[in-house]
Structure 1
Amino acid sequence: MKKRIANLSSIILVFIMLIGWEITARIIRLPFVLPSPVEILIRLWELKAELGSTHLPATLLIIMVGLTISILLGVGLAVLMNLSKSVERALYPIIISSQTIPIIALAPIFVLWFGYSIWSKVVVTVLITFFPIAVNTFDGFLSAKKEYKELLLTMGASKKDIFLKVSIPSALPYFFSGLKVAVTLSVIGAAIGEWLGAQAGLGYFSRRMMTQFDGAGVFAPIVLLSLIGILLFLVVVGMEKWLLNWRNEK
């Protein structure tokens, strides 16, 4: 009941914000600076063929490839750090340091290295998204209770058994927490990469519309990017509930 009330409150708040935006845009009457939500939706409908056939698939490909690499890289680093303290001391500062460099400053360098191919955008996406997966998953491994490990050891379990039966179940909730952050950041990473150097994609299209002083055209692909982020988040939440139903039954 409380969740339904909270969801209803969120919907009402968003609705009020959209009404306020619509009224403000109509008063200002500067569609390039602040197009109204209605104008954005109309422009999105007008551009649906071009966005759907070329730019949306290009962005989705970047997001999927980037997320796949980030999951493999993030989980792999977390496992390595969990298995060896020496590896943890060597890698953890590097992982932290990777997030102190402004990605928007590195993106043009990746364009110089990889050109306008998909990989310049994928690298940007990976740099943004692997961090929450790696750190959260590693924290999950650390959260495994020593009592459970000691109990299995007394029962003759091997390190492999302990890892599979204690460490992984302990890390899974943390992994999904990191993944929920990563999927939303992946949309930002793909858009940044496309904005700074691409031949197709929603970020590229938004920048192109800006050069044409088409305010509604700038916002139209941003709406799609936002919807992609929300959809990916909901997919991860659904996977989490399905795979961790044992936790929900407690």
Structure 2
Amino acid sequence: MTGLKISANPTPGKPFVPTVEAGRLPDTMNWTALGYVTEVGNQGQCGSCWAFSVIGALEGQWFRAHQKLVPLSVQDLMDCSTSVGNQGCEGGLIDKSYEFIRKHHGIDTWKSYPYVGKNEKCRFNNATIGATCRGYTDIKKGNEDDLYVAVGSIGPVAVAIDGNQASFGMYKSGVYDEPQCSSTILSHTLLVTGYGTYKGKQYWLAKNSWGTSWGMNGYIMMSRNKKNQCGIANLASYPMV
């Protein structure tokens, strides 16, 4: 299952302005290993990938600000954000979700509002808020250099890709390189948690939401610097906390 929706009237976030030169960043980055990332989730037969990636990006920035990893509620975002155009298991919007969390004054913890993988009535509780958000930053469309700096210096970043290729669904290991992958038709979202080079191939390390039996324990190495393959830098963003 995928679940990304593209807004017909997007509201731009704060544009990303690199504050670190790419050459000063480490050649390899893995925010998962550094404690910024929660366990891999499984969206099941529900098109909630958008919520998993948004929540993952917020968890990472919350950890960066407070040095505390708090699993946040994907279900809360699914159930309660219909006012901004999200439709739960029928799909949702990345940037609109950040804006919803800002106006909503936070998101509940996963423990208080666990994932059930289906649309339910909103049960948001102010007493169990796990994190807040004051806005979001958008990476320049299609710019893998800026995405590299953001991931290398800021933390995990939510991205959108073409997830419709059969090879993506069957991915097991190695650097995913699919020439047929579209850079314009985006259908799925991931959380980029790092980057590096494997057997001479540059990659983005990304967390999926299809459980740990998929890919490399739920992760994938997406091709990096291959003409924005799969559109990985077209809709990249992270929240500001």
Same fold (TM over 0.5): no
Tell me which interval the TM-score lies in, with the shorter structure as reference length: under 0.3
Q: Relative to total residues, which structure has the larger strand share, 1 or 2?
A: 2
Superposition TM-score, scaled by structure 1 size: 0.22
Find the structure with the greater CA-based Rg: 1
Higher relative contact order (CA 8 A, sep 6+): 2
Q: Relative to total residues, which structure has the larger helix share, 1 or 2?
A: 1
Superposition TM-score, scaled by structure 2 size: 0.23
